[in-house]
Structure 1
Amino acid sequence: MKLRKVTAASAAVLALALSATACGGDDKDSGSGSGGDKVKVGIKYDQPGIGLKEPDGSFSGFDIDVATYVAKELGYEPNQIEFVETKSADRENALARGDVKFIVASYSINDKRKAKVDFAGPYLLAHQDLLVKADSTIAKGADLNGKNLCSVAGSTSATNLRDKIAPKANLRTNSGYSECIAALQSGAVDAVTTDDSILAGYAAQDKYKGKFKLVGEQLSNENYGIGVKKGDKATVDKINTALEKMVSDGSWKKAVDANFGPANYKNEPAPKIGVIVK
């Protein structure tokens, strides 16, 4: 009787151990760099042309193409990528917590962020610009004096433009750029301002094709980088190698044309790895 009790207990322990092993085996992810079952990548869910979650659950945009290419070079097929929404305010924390392996989310490199995370790239040089209607006479920032300008609440780009270039512009803020674009279409505002890549992404949507144009003002330099957990130099090096290959084999240009082309986006050439344009 005593022997049976020991055997039953041992069996229970063995079953528990097997169960724990099985559970752990489903999550080799996030992030060993390569060879795992999946990798978690931080992206934006709400930026057409950059990073957008479609109604059917799929993802589209330039950042998605870059992330997919990089992940493949790290050893992951598209079906092994788990895209995780990372809002701007939480990007550094998501990397520090290990929620994602790397972040591709219109993530401009600056000194404040570099103190908290490491960056691969840059992989795109964007500029603050203006989006106006296709028949608009606005040709430069100063033309916004007396006009209505839209940006998102908390944005520094619109206030900088108004304070330094068009002090008589009427600034209107919304919770998101989609609302600004709708206001531009209806005529409630005369221009929308943010990074030209983001504006081009909106303008390239089927419902807006041919209705808007980029003014071409280069009001700032935004060096988009791929965020990696601080100290993970090995992953930074692998991503940089992947980005160089993406440019050299033509995939980078193909992704730019596919995501921004319909908006006649005059993109900068692919930036050199490690070179930040001030």
Structure 2
Amino acid sequence: MVEVRGRRIAAALLAAATVLGAGTACGIADAGEGSVADKDTLVIGVNGDQPGLGERKGGTFEGFDIDIAKEIARRLGVTGANVTFKQVTSATREKMIQDGDVDLVVASYSVTPERKVKVSFAGPYYVAHQDILVRESDAGKIRSIDDLKGRRLCRVPGSVSFPRVHDEQGVAAVPVEADGYAGCLTELTGGRLDAVSTDDLILAGLAAKASGNGPPLTIVNAPFTDEPYGVGLRKGDADGCEAVNKAITQMYQDGTAPRLLDKWFRPAGLKVTTTVPQFEGCV
């Protein structure tokens, strides 16, 4: 009887040790990933082909998203050489966050339910609106999303823009593939497509870049969606999300965000919103 009881006690102790060990190992793994709120260095994913938002020029990046990313990093206590930018695309953003290639993504990254399954979002830091960019000579023919039926519309892999028109709105536009929005601009000015539909901030940057080169372009000014631009970060990093939200709030309160919006988009004639957006909530 004593021997049986001894074996039971030993088994119970072994089971407890196994559970404790597993819990400790999980704790170490979680701690190893870390929160962006506690990092001394940050790698931030940004676009490289969106004039006015995130554009690579030589070895540097410039644009509204780049300035927003620098401000967020500074308010998290990370500055100068401790901030590194890495180019992402619409198709690679989630995987680069999940794989730890980047700590944050600030790249005209619309918050969607599908994306929230894979990553967490702080913000949004701005709410853009989907609109349409056309050649000025076609402005009389394309006045709304419905006029895109049967017309050649740019489609960028990983972007929500074409699906917003074709799938959600049910407009039978004809897809023309491009690697990014710089490619869309080339196709539009070259006459190989009829329109580019995406966020108005992106369109304003594209129109400004094309100014004086090729046929004049114009934004239709017929917005048909809201696109909340979030800051992507590792799924479950609630502390990091809250810290980034605090930084965004401060940027609107002290006038930094309105100043940056004015700097990058007022010259293109785009009317921007300068009040702090309603946050999605950190989950």
Query: Shorter-chain TM-score category?
Result: 0.7 to 0.9
- Alpha-carbon spacing, 1:129–1:41, altered in 2? closer, same or farther (3 Å): same
Q: 1:67 Cα shift?
A: 0.3
Q: Which residue does 1:48 correspond to in 2? A: 51
- Alpha-carbon spacing, 1:160–1:65, altered in 2? closer, same or farther (3 Å): closer
Q: CA RMSD in A?
A: 2.8
Alignment partner of 1:73 is 2:75:
yes
Unaligned runs of 5+ in 1: 1-29
> Which amino acid in structure 2 is aligned with residue 197 of structure 1?
L
Distance 2:224 2:277 in 1: 21
Q: Matched residue of 2:110: which SS? A: coil
1:39 pairs with one of 42, 49, 52: 42
Q: Which residue does 1:204 correspond to in 2? A: 208
Q: 1:147 Cα shift?
A: 4.1
Contact between 2:43 and 2:102, CA under 8 Å: does it hold in 1?
yes
Q: Which residue does 2:16 correspond to in 1? A: none
Please give the per-residue CA displacement for 1:102-151, whole angstroms capped at 9, x wherever unaligned: 11111111222222222110111112210012352132123334544333
Alignment partner of 1:230 is 2:235:
yes
Distance 1:145 1:108 in 2: 25
Q: Matched residue of 1:106: which SS? A: strand
Q: Matched residue of 1:107: which SS? A: strand
Q: Which residue does 1:215 correspond to in 2? A: 220
The 5-angstrom pairing of residues 156-195 of structure 1 reads 157-158=161-162, 160-162=164-166, 164=169, 166-167=171-172, 169-195=173-199
Q: 1:238 Cα shift?
A: 1.1
Report % sequence identity.
38
> Which amino acid in structure 2 is aligned with residue 198 of structure 1?
I
Alignment partner of 1:248 is 2:253:
yes
Contact between 2:126 and 2:277, CA under 8 Å: does it hold in 1?
no
Q: Which residue does 1:264 correspond to in 2? A: 269
Q: Which residue does 1:18 correspond to in 2? A: none
Contact between 2:111 and 2:227, CA under 8 Å: does it hold in 1?
yes
Q: Matched residue of 2:271: which SS? A: coil
Q: Matched residue of 2:184: which SS? A: helix
TM-score normalised according to structure 1 size:
0.76
Q: Matched residue of 2:279: which SS? A: coil
Contact between 1:144 and 1:166, CA under 8 Å: does it hold in 2?
yes
Q: 1:182 Cα shift?
A: 2.1
- Alpha-carbon spacing, 1:113–1:186, altered in 2? closer, same or farther (3 Å): closer
Q: 1:186 Cα shift?
A: 3.2
TM-score normalised according to structure 2 size:
0.75
Distance 2:164 2:238 in 1: 35
Q: 1:160 Cα shift?
A: 4.8
Please give the per-residue CA displacement for 1:29-88, whole angstroms capped at 9, x wherever unaligned: x9763572x321111222222211112x11111110110000000112233210112333
The 5-angstrom pairing of residues 77-156 of structure 1 reads 77-135=79-137, 136-137=139-140, 138-145=142-149, 147-152=151-156
Structure 1 range deviating more: 62-71 or 181-190:
181-190
Q: Matched residue of 2:121: which SS? A: strand
Q: Which residue does 2:279 correspond to in 1? A: 274
Please give the per-residue CA displacement for 1:163-201, whole angstroms capped at 9, x wherever unaligned: 64654x544333332232123223343321122221112
Distance 2:98 2:261 in 1: 30
- Alpha-carbon spacing, 1:35–1:189, altered in 2? closer, same or farther (3 Å): closer
- Alpha-carbon spacing, 1:92–1:48, altered in 2? closer, same or farther (3 Å): same
Q: Matched residue of 2:55: which SS? A: strand
